[in-house]
């Protein structure tokens, strides 16, 4: 793509404001005005914090236990991923009503190329204004929008106008906006790279821009050095790419206390399998590769996977694979802090393997009926018997 074409483009980066926490306030209006943190269990991590909670220094990815010490009066709530996905899907449809060129980055943010929509819908600023109004009117939450000729600058702009703001950076303002920023503002500069740049005496984006490309390449390698130099001059010619198919679907749980009982661990694996396969079926997908993750008390982690001859979507069938992978580890009584299930190698359909003497109605039919019951009566209305018993036992010991 030529530089001229990139400069003529109008790219929006739309980012929901404290998305998970905003959804919690939407569903529970009594939380408005209070410090709200999404993240449960002292050993879990913060997934989102509203702006009242951020005043205490609470940030995403921070351990929940630390956040509780920083703001003991804050309200900590468990995440509701199904609800987030539901609202995210509707928000993405709002975006797609303005342009087919929508590239979701996560549940709560996306790039939009509205270059082709300008003749019909107005300037980038006018389109962004209407998007923000529709998201708030239809979904009851707010978003911030960055407007620029490229994805890189649009994302920086949205970060600088949060919460509930809009910022446009035109071509003639890019370097004025970009160069005073710290080196960590550049895409791909993490803590380690930032340390390397600091050692070179490079503190701002302008410092990087005024460093010879060859020096950056010697310090960081060919790809990283060249990319950093280009971005420091605001040059980013990547297209907005519409959503690609899901590459994997996963579910994981960090325990409040380490588990070493194999029966309890298998119950947790079943719980994670149920979550992951429910999402798989919601998307009409099948998985050919099943993976498990086990994290020990010392934080060491192992992963195991199995690829099947035919893709499957049944909780029962996936769990049989998960269970076999776990038992093959032979780690009885090892103390675990996390288990996870990942469904990979996803496909749109799967031929049913005919088994001589098999019942006419199988697990797929039964779980289809279960999914329909959950959709009508709630996700907790139908559960595997082993999980119901486990939860009853926990209540009796509380």
- pLDDT per residue over 170-224, tens digit each? 999 999 999 999 999 998 788 888 888 999 999 999 999 999 999 999 988 888 8
Q: Do 159 and 40 belong together in one domain? A: yes
- For residue range 275-301, what is the model confidence (pLDDT) as tens digits? 999 988 988 889 999 999 999 988 888
Task: Identify the segments of the chain with pLDDT beneath 50.
Answer: 1-7, 353-361, 376-377, 379, 381, 388-398
Strands (E) in 157-285, as ranges, are 166-168, 248-259
Do 164 and 197 lie in a common domain? no
How many structural domains are present in the chain? 3
Give the closest residue to 37 by CA, choosing from 85, 5, 69: 69
Is the same domain home to 257 and 381?
yes
Q: Kind and range of the H or E element at 270?
A: helix 262-282
Contact (Cβ atoms closer than 8 angstroms) between residue 226 and residue 211: no
Domain identity same for 313 and 270: yes
> What token pair was written down for 358?
């098999």
The CATH number assigned to the domain holding 25 equals: 3.30.70.270
Residue among 157, 151, 149, 165 at smallest CA distance from 111: 151
How much is the pLDDT for 354? 44
Is the residue at 239 inside a domain?
no
CATH number of residue 194's parent domain: 1.10.150.20
Q: Which of 293, 257, 247, 288 is nearest to 272 (CA)?
A: 293
For residue 242, being part of any structural domain is answered with no
pLDDT for the residue numbered 221: 87
Q: What is the pLDDT of residue 386?
A: 53
Q: Examine the domain organization and report whether 171 and 214 are in the same domain.
A: no
Alpha carbons 193 and 189: distance in angstroms, whole number: 6
Assigned token pair, 56: 């205490």
Q: How far apart are CA 278 and CA 249, in angstroms?
A: 10
> Which domain covers residue 157, as residue numbers?
1-178
Is residue 17 domain-shared with residue 139, that is, in the same domain? yes
Q: What angle do CA 340, 342, 347 make, to 5 degrees?
A: 165
Residue 125's closest CA among 240, 12, 227?
A: 12
Same domain? For 24 and 171 the reply is: yes
- Specify whether the CB–CB gap between 162 and 170 falls below 8 A: no
Q: The tokens of 257 are what?
A: 């206390």
Q: Considering 103, 109, 268, 317, which one is annotated as catalytic?
A: 109
**What is the C-alpha to C-alpha distance for residues 122 and 141, in angstroms, rounded to an integer?**
24
15 is in an annotated binding site: yes
Active-site residue, 394 included: no
CB atoms within 10 A of CB 293: 17
In a domain, 169, yes or no: yes
Q: What is the pLDDT of residue 347?
A: 85
pLDDT of res. 248: 85
The answer to whether the annotation marks 108 as part of a ligand binding site is yes
């Amino acid at each position: 793509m030529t530089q001229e074409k990139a400069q003529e483009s109008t790219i929006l980066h739309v980012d929901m404001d404290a998305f998970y926490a905003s959804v919690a306030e939407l569903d529970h209006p009594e939380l408005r005005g209070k410090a709200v943190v999404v993240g449960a269990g002292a050993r879990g991590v913060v997934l989102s914090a509203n702006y009242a909670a951020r005043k205490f220094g609470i940030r995403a990815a921070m351990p929940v236990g630390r956040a509780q010490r920083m703001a003991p009066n804050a309200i900590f709530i468990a995440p509701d991923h199904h609800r987030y996905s539901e609202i995210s899907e509707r928000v993405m449809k709002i975006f797609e009503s303005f342009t087919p060129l929508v590239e979701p980055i996560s549940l709560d943010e996306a790039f939009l190329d509205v270059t082709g929509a300008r003749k019909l819908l107005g300037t980038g600023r006018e389109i962004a204004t209407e998007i923000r109004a529709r998201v708030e009117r239809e979904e009851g939450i707010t978003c911030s929008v960055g407007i620029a000729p490229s994805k890189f600058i649009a994302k920086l702009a949205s970060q600088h106008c949060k919460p509930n703001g809009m910022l446009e950076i035109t071509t003639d303002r890019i370097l004025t906006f970009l160069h005073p920023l710290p080196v960590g503002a550049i895409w791909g500069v993490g803590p380690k790279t930032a340390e390397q740049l600091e050692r070179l005496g490079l503190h701002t984006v302008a410092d990087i821009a005024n460093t010879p490309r060859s020096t950056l390449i010697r310090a960081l390698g060919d790809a990283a050095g060249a990319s950093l130099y280009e971005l420091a001059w605001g040059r980013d010619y990547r297209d907005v790419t519409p959503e690609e198919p899901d590459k994997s679907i996963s579910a994981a749980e960090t325990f409040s206390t380490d588990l070493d009982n194999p029966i309890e661990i298998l119950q947790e694996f079943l719980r994670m399998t149920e979550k992951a396969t429910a999402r798989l079926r919601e998307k009409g997908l099948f998985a050919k590769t099943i993976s498990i993750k086990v994290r020990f008390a010392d934080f060491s982690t192992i992963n195991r996977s199995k690829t099947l001859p035919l893709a499957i979507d049944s909780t029962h069938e996936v769990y049989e694979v998960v269970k076999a992978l776990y038992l093959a580890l032979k780690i009885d009584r090892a103390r675990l802090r996390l288990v996870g299930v990942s469904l990979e190698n996803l496909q749109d359909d799967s031929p049913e393997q005919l088994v001589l003497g098999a019942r006419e109605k199988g697990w797929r039919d039964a779980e289809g009926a279960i999914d329909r019951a959950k959709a009508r009566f709630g996700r907790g209305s139908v559960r595997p018997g082993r999980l119901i018993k486990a939860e009853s036992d926990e209540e009796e010991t509380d």
